[in-house]
Amino acid sequence: MRIEVLVDVKTTLGEGPVWDVGQQRLYWLDSADGRILRCTADGRELRAWDVGQKIGSMTLRHSGEQAIVALQNGVHTLDLHRGELALIIDPEPGLPDNRLNDGKVDRQGRFVFGSMDTLEDSASARLYRLDADLSLHTLDENIIVSNGPCWSPSGETFYFCDTWSGEIWAYDYDLVTGAVSNRRTFAKVDTRGGGAADGCTVDAEGCLWQALVYAGQLVRYSPDGKVDRVLEMPVKKVTSLTFGGPNLDTLFVTSMARPPLPRFPADGQQRGALFAITGLGVQGIAERRFAS
C-alpha cells in the first residue's frame, strides 16, 4: 500500500470527491472557498471552477457539460463550459444558518444530499432527494451535519451519518421510488481519538469506507458493521474519499487546510492536499451521473 500527495492545492475545506468514469477525471471541492477542481488520475490537467459561494456537493448530469451543485443557498445547475449557475430550488430559505452539504447519486440517477447547521450545534438540517424531474423530497430530518451518503452494491441499503451522532446509519432504500425506511445503527464510530464521522464510500465487496475527520484515519467496515481495517493518514483532517482511476482501485482522499471553527485542531504541512492511495487490493463501484 502507498499513500502519496496527488495534488497539493491546500483546499481550505477539501470535500466531495467524484470519479467520472466517462471522462476518466476526478472532481473534488473546496467547500469553504466555493471551488470545484478537476484532474486526471495522476494529478495532471488541473482545472477549477469558482461558484461564488460555499459548496457542499456536486454531480455531473447525464447529458451535456453540466453539473448539479448543492450550494449555500440552494441546488443549482452549473454550465461547466460557460461557468453559469441557474437555481433549481432552495430547500431551506428560512434557515440562514444552514447550508447544503454532502451528497451523491443513487444507482438510478437521483441526487441525495443533506444540509447542515454551520455552527454544528443545532439539529435544524434535513436529508433530501432530487429526482430526474427536478422535484425535491425530504427523506429525514433533525440532523446537525449531513455526511457520508452512499449505497450498498445492490443499491438496496442506503448509508448516512450525522457527523456528531457517533453512528453510521443504514436505511432500506426503495429502488423504484427512492424512499427510505427502517433506519437503524449500522456501526458505532470510534470517537475516543477526537475524530468524527465524515465522507463515506462503498467498495465492490460491499464494505463501507469512512473518513474519520480530526483523527486522521480511514476506517473500513464490513457489511455487518464491524471494523475491518484502519488506515493512518499523514494529516488529521481527512474529510472524504472515493475510488477511481482506470481500474477503480485508487482511493482518492480529500483533506482540509483550515478547520471551520476555532475549537477544531490545526494540522501538518500536507493539510489541504488531495491524496491517492494505491495497492489496497480493493476496487470501488463506478459512480452514476444525475439522470437528466
Catalytic positions: 198
Q: Name the nearest CA neighbour of 251 among 13, 28, 10.
A: 28
The three-point CA angle 88-122-235 to 5° equals 85
Host H or E run for residue 38: strand 35-39
CA atoms within 13 A on the CB side of 160: 31
The single-letter code of the amino acid at 76 is: H
Label the pairing between strands 25-30 and 227-232.
Answer: unpaired
Q: What are phi and psi of 164, to 5 degrees?
A: -95, 10
Strands (E), 72-223: 74-79, 85-89, 98-105, 111-117, 125-130, 136-143, 146-151, 157-162, 167-173, 180-188, 196-202, 208-213, 217-221
Name the grid cell of 173: 432504500
Q: Find out whether 117 and 144 touch, Cβ atoms under 8 Å.
A: yes
Distance CA 284, CA 266 (A): 31
Handedness of CA 243, 246, 250, 256 (dihedral sign): negative
